[in-house]
Amino acid sequence: MAKLEILEYPDPRLRTKAKPVAKVEERHRTLAADMLETMYDAPGIGLAASQVDVHERLIVVDVSEDQNDPHILINPEYDKLGNPVESQEGCLSVPGYYERVSRSDKIRVRALNEMGEAIEFEAEDLFAICIQHEIDHLDGKLFVDYLSNLKRTRIRKKLEKQHKLTVS
Ligand code: ZN
């Protein structure tokens, strides 16, 4: 397993729309294992392949406290079943910023697992919110897109400044 580099906002590669996985192969299982290691190390509760510069529709999620309930979802889709609920969100690609975002509190998910088998389940609360956040990444969307222009610009400028300081 290997730790991967996480792209940070406003890196334009985060805006790439990911392609569906035509056939689940060994390299997807390797990628998912590396993404889980990267996510646990960060630490985070979800990671999309887009964030590690692989533009295929694959996400990993684990909202358990003990980091022992990993979910690998390939070509994930969902229907909203619940009500909109606002919660504080963060993102490994937008380090240090947490803002309130509205999501559905219950969803029905369809995806392939790491063996390429079709799975379907219902997710609620944090699990549901995290899956919606990660699927947004596959569409090139970030949680800051739900914020006002003013807030988003402020976050972008601060992160750009930090990146410059890190590079120099
Ligand atoms: Zn994120």
Interval between CA 133 and ligand 1 midpoint (Å):
6
Question: Rounded to an integer, what distance in angstroms lies between the CA atom of residue 166 and that of residue 168?
Answer: 6
As beta bridge partners, residue 79 has: 108
**pLDDT per residue rounded down to tens, the chain (168 residues):** 789 999 999 999 999 999 999 999 999 999 999 999 999 999 999 999 999 999 999 999 999 999 999 999 999 999 999 999 999 999 999 999 999 999 999 999 999 999 999 999 999 999 999 999 999 999 999 999 999 999 999 999 999 998 888 776
Strand, coil or helix: what is 72? strand
Q: Are 99 and 88 in contact (CB under 8 A)?
A: yes
Question: Rounded to an integer, what distance in angstroms lies between the CA atom of residue 85 and that of residue 30?
Answer: 34
Interval between CA 141 and ligand 1 midpoint (Å):
9
Question: Rounded to an integer, what distance in angstroms lies between the CA atom of residue 44 and that of residue 65?
Answer: 11
Check residue 150 and give its pLDDT.
Answer: 96
| pTM of the predicted protein model | 0.96
Burial of 133 (0-12, 13-18, 19+ CB in 10 A): buried
